[in-house]
Structure 1
Amino acid sequence: MIFISILILIVAKALISSNNLSPVLYPRITAIIFIYAGVLTFNTLYIQSIGSGIGIYSGLFHITSISQFIEGFIYLIGSLILIAWPILVLQPKTIDSLRTSTLFVGSEDQSKKNKNNIPVSLLAFYKSNYFAEYSLVIIFSSLGASLLVSSSDLVSMYLSIELQSFGVYILATLFRDSESATSAGLKYFLLGGLSSCIILLGAGLIYSFTGLTNFESIYSLISVSEFNYVIQGLSLGLTLIFVGFLFKIAAAPLHNWSPDVYDDSPTIVTTWLTIMPKISILILLLELYTQIGSGLYTTIENLNTINSVSNLITSIIPFFNELNTTVIIKNLLLISSLLSLLIGTIVGLAQTRIKRLLAYSTISHIGFILLALSINTEQSIDSLLFYIIQYTITNLNVFLIVLALGYIIKNSIINYNNSLSPLALSLISDKGREMSQQLKDIKYISEFKGQFFSNPLLSLSLTICLFSMAGMPPLIGFFSKQFVLYSAMQSGYYFIAIVAILVSVVSASYYLKIIKVLHTDPLGSDNINEKENVIKTSFQELKSSAYLPNQKGDVNTNNLSTISASFPYPLQAKETNKEQNSFSVKNVNLLTNFHSFLISSLTLSILLFILKPSIILNITQVLSLSLFNF
């Protein structure tokens, strides 16, 4: 279904001119494709033999109830993320004002108009060229994620993770006119390529020692093998694969790339990067750890003597002879979990940029997930699946609210009433898309200041989500952490459970910092006249520095993105001097009705989870039981 949809969209984009097809259709069509594919995926759960698993494509993929549920969940979340893209529709009055605009000077510039007789370069503020690319790349990445959760072979595993990774690399650089987005995508590509090399090295070691690539065949070989060097080589290869995947999900100490990439990428792209790639990788690690890992550990524990290892492994990793290989991967997960909890909390306290703070928050949540994974019991796997679901819902809602506030606070349309110089016009045309994107993104936590007074419902929704992420009862985030900590205490992991409790308390401080900024008066004064004077003064200063041409006729466009960001309230001002280039700044509401409905629905699910918890809990319990019983 997804593959056929990719082919259809590519052909449609090639045959139909982008000027004749509204770019709004691409995310809507993609969302419908995801919903339909998700329904088909959930429909396969009615197959009776799905519990024990069904092998397809000569054993390259293994369909189970967990893989199908997660695949449908990925499609559902993907369709919800697509609705966050701003949809700009020109109103008739706006079209008339643009059609009669004297922005272009000269016959050559006057000819550069579209079918509505609107200057082409002015549409840079209204129309984005990234709808089709964004939708296609998202479908490619989702296809790789759905294949990864069902992978049952080293070959299919590597191809699936690369298909997913290439998609997110392109997403990070999607806004190619933005220098920060290009830098983020390049950094993501280089470090992601390094992690892929580690995964490929681990897969090569496993194949060199066993001659097999299928997971089930490797598991069967381990269970009957009497040669210790085979098991040791397999342990090394499996460890490298886990390290590569921990790198991709930004688990500490392999996390340094994620705050930079998330902060430099556009917020709409960061929403995808923080959620979708992690779900499929965590489910694959769950399958590997519970199936291959468990069989490997049992076999090693039954060995009465430890034979000598091959000289190759001894020279590369000498501590394999000293440590008990039964706990190598478990210790790897526990150490990564502990470091993720500590680094994600402590370093997050010093952040002033919202997306960097949310990146460290994600690292802290990864610590809880890896703790549940390392315990490897029915109860811990149940808590792991529940934590993934609640983390996805809460994190998605946080980014949807951040995007919504960005659309409300920082988006403005600049309408010019008199002509500009040709050179100034060319500058606006070249940088239109970049400036439009800068206007949409919220970078700093301080930009939320006073939003409770102008946007109370969105501020309350964000407050509820942040309290849930901090683990405040009776929100859904509290129960997810409670289940993980309870399973850790039941299995005897007292130290790391205590550390997790402490970091949860500490991490609440930087969530409360955002809440405090939201509910702080933006100007620290209740005098309305004083606020209006400050706004008018700031507007005149910014306008004079940003738009008045110099002696050469150039216009400084560097301060364009700061105009609407500097005003906490909707602003409309107009130049009265007819001799100068006059313009007006008007806020444009890019927040759609369905975007608002989705925020309210997710917020209510987080807030009212305690009233009907059985829906999610029953699903996770059935999935965890099916993993251990089949």
Structure 2
Amino acid sequence: MVMLSILILIVAIALPSFQKNLSSIMITRITSIIFFYAGILSLNGLFIESIGSGLGIYSGLFNVTVTSQFIDSFICFIAGSILIAWPTKTEVTISTENNDQSSNIKSTTLSNPCTEYSLIVMFSTLGSSLLISSSDLISMYLSIELQSFGVYILSTLFRNSESSTSAGLKYFLLGGLSSCFILLGSALIYSFSGLTNFEAIYSLVNVTFDNQVIQGLTLGFIIIFVGFLFKVAAAPLHNWAPDVYNDTPTIVTIWLTIMPKIGILFLLLELQSGVSYNSLIDLVESLNSLSFMGNIVSENIIYLLKNLLLISSLLSLIIGTVVGLAQTQIKRLLAYSTISHIGFILLALAVNTEQSIESFVFYIVQYSITNLNVFLIIIALGYVMYETKNNNQAVYGSNSDIKFISQLKGQFFANPILSISLSICFFSMAGVPPLLGFFSKQFVLYSAVQNGYYFMAIVAILTSVISASYYLKIIRVLHTETESSADSKKLDNLTFETSLLSNTQSFLISSLTLLILLFVLKPSIILNSTQLLALSLFNT
């Protein structure tokens, strides 16, 4: 569906007649509808009877499973929601009274995105959808590059912005380095095994006796995991994330924070669970056979990968929390917050039990929903705040991004609903009960304690408590009254009639906020889905 829409959109953009009739905003809205429709089609794929064991397509390059269909649907819904954040043309009317004469001055704000934005977003989303269904080293690498190159272009979409250009260049260079790691690991696995299919590699891991092959496969898996940890900004490979997130426009940052991570994290789950599950099956079936030595080798690989994830999780929790305390720019703070959340996700992935995988899936869903709502509200506040008065005309800054936390000061008195919604999101990210974020952290910590990871659980609890301080700092700034808010009440001769937020944006923000706030009243909708996904991974 997405691929067909890309081809149609390319043809539509190239035709002169369509260029005159289709505005960039209309193309963006059409793209959003396409994503929602593609998500519904992915959900319908779950009713295929033979999908339980997986369906191999394109000669085994991709494997369609219940997990891949569900995550594909989730990715499409998130992508469609992000596109709604673009503003429409806004007409601002200022009424002034001068010597009993009134005059109306209308100013139109052109905040339309580039037409190419929708096309690039569709390519990046297609890469994410293909990545979660990849079952071969070749399809894995091509999918990750399709996703990554779209994100690189998005980072430099605003060509007139020097900071955006520098951020995109930094992201491209470091992202290319991480892709080299993934390609190197894939080349090592192929050179030592002669295989590219995941299932065949899993089987070889469990039956091989050649020490050289064992060392090559182990090194290859470790290098691939390092490359993917680089792309999800897990510590100590996180240094690029705060700079890139801070310098790119917020409408692009929201994409960088959520979309690339979903597909990569689920692919890491596929790689680790594939090796672990196959090793356990063969271990039971071959206790008295020669392949028992192969199972010992497999357990060694699993042990190394688990330690790699645990070390990265520990560093992500500590660095994301401690360094985030010193941040004064809101997007850099949210970048370190993301690193801290990645620590929780990697902890659940490292435990690798049925219960931890359930918490892993639930945490990703919660993280995506909460981060999406936070950035949508920040974008909405930027639209409202960057209205300035110049000769009785409404003028909007060319860059309506909110850079510093101090810019949010007193917003509760100017925009109380948006401020309360943002506060609810930050309380959820801090893990305050009974919000959605509290349950995600509780599930991860419970699975870690149940499996004996007491030290990691203690570190996660301490970092979660400490990280709450910088969320509370933002909430305090939001509810601190400023002189400008008091002075604005004295401007009786100017009245602003603005409609900066569309009804769709307002509905989306309110729906996500209510989901975060009222999740405790009906938790079964999300919990049942995550539990079924965890069961399908361990019983296929």
TM-score past 0.5 threshold: yes
Residue in 1 that maps onto 2:6: 6
Paired with 1:389 and 1:90, the residues of 2 have a C-alpha distance of 36
3-state SS in 2 of match to 1:275: helix
Residue in 2 that maps onto 1:493: 453
Structure 2 residue aligned with 1:138, among 121, 130, 134? 121
Counting only pairs closer than 5 Å after superposition, residues 611-630 of structure 1 correspond to structure 2 as: 611-630=521-540
1 or 2, which has the higher strand percentage?
A: 2
3-state SS in 1 of match to 2:63: strand
Counting only pairs closer than 5 Å after superposition, residues 544-583 of structure 1 correspond to structure 2 as: none
Deviations for 1:35-70, whole angstroms, at most 9, x for unmatched residues?
111111100001121111110000000011001000
Could you say if the C-alpha distance between residues 198 and 380 of structure 1 is closer, same or farther in structure 2, counting changes exceeding 3 Å?
A: same
Paired with 2:261 and 2:143, the residues of 1 have a C-alpha distance of 14
Residue in 2 that maps onto 1:31: 32
Structure 2 residue aligned with 1:365, among 336, 341, 362? 341
Could you say if the C-alpha distance between residues 69 and 325 of structure 1 is closer, same or farther in structure 2, counting changes exceeding 3 Å?
A: closer
Residue in 2 that maps onto 1:347: 323
Q: How far did residue 231 of structure 1 move?
A: 1.9
Structure 1 residue aligned with 2:218, among 235, 248, 264? 235
- Which amino acid in the other structure matches residue 174 of structure 2? L
Residue in 1 that maps onto 2:303: 327
Query: Residues 348 and 360 of structure 1 are in contact (CA less than 8 Å); yes or no, is this contact kept in structure 2?
Result: yes
Could you say if the C-alpha distance between residues 507 and 65 of structure 1 is closer, same or farther in structure 2, counting changes exceeding 3 Å?
A: same
Query: Residues 347 and 360 of structure 1 are in contact (CA less than 8 Å); yes or no, is this contact kept in structure 2?
Result: yes
Gaps of 5+ in 1: 95-117, 308-322, 418-431, 537-569, 574-585
Residue in 1 that maps onto 2:56: 55
Could you say if the C-alpha distance between residues 628 and 416 of structure 1 is closer, same or farther in structure 2, counting changes exceeding 3 Å?
A: same
Deviations for 1:582-610, whole angstroms, at most 9, x for unmatched residues?
xxxx7854211111111111111001001
Residue in 2 that maps onto 1:377: 353
Paired with 1:226 and 1:341, the residues of 2 have a C-alpha distance of 38
Q: CA RMSD in A?
A: 2.7
Deviations for 1:203-243, whole angstroms, at most 9, x for unmatched residues?
00000000000001111222222223212211100100000
Deviations for 1:111-160, whole angstroms, at most 9, x for unmatched residues?
xxxxxxx9xxx98x5253x3311111110000000000000000000000
Gaps of 5+ in 2: 96-105, 284-289
Could you say if the C-alpha distance between residues 618 and 587 of structure 1 is closer, same or farther in structure 2, counting changes exceeding 3 Å?
A: same
Q: How far did residue 175 of structure 1 move?
A: 0.5
Relative to the length of structure 2, the TM-score reads: 0.91
- Which amino acid in the other structure matches residue 70 of structure 1? I
Counting only pairs closer than 5 Å after superposition, residues 57-96 of structure 1 correspond to structure 2 as: 57-90=58-91
Deviations for 1:359-397, whole angstroms, at most 9, x for unmatched residues?
000000000000000000000000000000011111100
Paired with 1:515 and 1:614, the residues of 2 have a C-alpha distance of 30
- Which amino acid in the other structure matches residue 437 of structure 1? S
Query: Residues 408 and 589 of structure 1 are in contact (CA less than 8 Å); yes or no, is this contact kept in structure 2?
Result: no
Residue in 1 that maps onto 2:147: 164
Query: Residues 93 and 498 of structure 2 are in contact (CA less than 8 Å); yes or no, is this contact kept in structure 1?
Result: no
Relative to the length of structure 1, the TM-score reads: 0.78
Could you say if the C-alpha distance between residues 479 and 91 of structure 1 is closer, same or farther in structure 2, counting changes exceeding 3 Å?
A: closer
Query: Residues 407 and 589 of structure 1 are in contact (CA less than 8 Å); yes or no, is this contact kept in structure 2?
Result: no
- Which amino acid in the other structure matches residue 225 of structure 2? F
Correspondence 1:608 to 2:518: yes
Residue in 2 that maps onto 1:182: 165
Q: How far did residue 303 of structure 1 move?
A: 2.7
Could you say if the C-alpha distance between residues 24 and 236 of structure 1 is closer, same or farther in structure 2, counting changes exceeding 3 Å?
A: same
Correspondence 1:271 to 2:254: yes
3-state SS in 2 of match to 1:24: helix
Counting only pairs closer than 5 Å after superposition, residues 48-447 of structure 1 correspond to structure 2 as: 48-90=49-91, 125-128=109-112, 130-295=113-278, 302-303=292-293, 325-412=301-388, 436-438=397-399, 440-447=400-407
3-state SS in 2 of match to 1:618: helix
Could you say if the C-alpha distance between residues 474 and 91 of structure 1 is closer, same or farther in structure 2, counting changes exceeding 3 Å?
A: closer
Paired with 1:500 and 1:621, the residues of 2 have a C-alpha distance of 23
Query: Residues 231 and 296 of structure 1 are in contact (CA less than 8 Å); yes or no, is this contact kept in structure 2?
Result: no
Could you say if the C-alpha distance between residues 532 and 622 of structure 1 is closer, same or farther in structure 2, counting changes exceeding 3 Å?
A: closer
Q: How far did residue 517 of structure 1 move?
A: 0.1
Deviations for 1:310-349, whole angstroms, at most 9, x for unmatched residues?
xxxxxxxxxxxxx954421111000000000000000000
Query: Residues 343 and 364 of structure 1 are in contact (CA less than 8 Å); yes or no, is this contact kept in structure 2?
Result: yes
- Which amino acid in the other structure matches residue 475 of structure 2? I
Query: Residues 127 and 145 of structure 2 are in contact (CA less than 8 Å); yes or no, is this contact kept in structure 1?
Result: yes
- Which amino acid in the other structure matches residue 225 of structure 1? T
- Which amino acid in the other structure matches residue 477 of structure 2? V
- Which amino acid in the other structure matches residue 59 of structure 2? S
Correspondence 1:470 to 2:470: no
Paired with 2:168 and 2:374, the residues of 1 have a C-alpha distance of 23
Query: Residues 228 and 306 of structure 1 are in contact (CA less than 8 Å); yes or no, is this contact kept in structure 2?
Result: no
Paired with 2:56 and 2:267, the residues of 1 have a C-alpha distance of 16
Could you say if the C-alpha distance between residues 325 and 361 of structure 1 is closer, same or farther in structure 2, counting changes exceeding 3 Å?
A: same
Could you say if the C-alpha distance between residues 264 and 587 of structure 1 is closer, same or farther in structure 2, counting changes exceeding 3 Å?
A: farther
Query: Residues 465 and 603 of structure 1 are in contact (CA less than 8 Å); yes or no, is this contact kept in structure 2?
Result: yes
Residue in 1 that maps onto 2:99: none
3-state SS in 2 of match to 1:62: strand
3-state SS in 2 of match to 1:232: helix
3-state SS in 2 of match to 1:174: coil
Paired with 1:500 and 1:74, the residues of 2 have a C-alpha distance of 27
- Which amino acid in the other structure matches residue 609 of structure 1? F
Query: Residues 363 and 441 of structure 2 are in contact (CA less than 8 Å); yes or no, is this contact kept in structure 1?
Result: yes
Residue in 2 that maps onto 1:106: none
3-state SS in 1 of match to 2:222: helix
Q: How far did residue 168 of structure 1 move?
A: 0.4
3-state SS in 2 of match to 1:55: strand
Could you say if the C-alpha distance between residues 191 and 455 of structure 1 is closer, same or farther in structure 2, counting changes exceeding 3 Å?
A: same
Query: Residues 412 and 587 of structure 1 are in contact (CA less than 8 Å); yes or no, is this contact kept in structure 2?
Result: no
Query: Residues 207 and 294 of structure 2 are in contact (CA less than 8 Å); yes or no, is this contact kept in structure 1?
Result: no
Paired with 1:176 and 1:293, the residues of 2 have a C-alpha distance of 46
Query: Residues 571 and 587 of structure 1 are in contact (CA less than 8 Å); yes or no, is this contact kept in structure 2?
Result: no
Query: Residues 222 and 295 of structure 1 are in contact (CA less than 8 Å); yes or no, is this contact kept in structure 2?
Result: no
Query: Residues 207 and 295 of structure 2 are in contact (CA less than 8 Å); yes or no, is this contact kept in structure 1?
Result: no
Equivalenced residues, count: 520
Query: Residues 386 and 617 of structure 1 are in contact (CA less than 8 Å); yes or no, is this contact kept in structure 2?
Result: yes
Paired with 2:357 and 2:300, the residues of 1 have a C-alpha distance of 24
Deviations for 1:79-113, whole angstroms, at most 9, x for unmatched residues?
0000101111457999xxxxxxxxxxxxxxxxxxx
Query: Residues 152 and 168 of structure 2 are in contact (CA less than 8 Å); yes or no, is this contact kept in structure 1?
Result: yes
Q: How far did residue 199 of structure 1 move?
A: 0.2
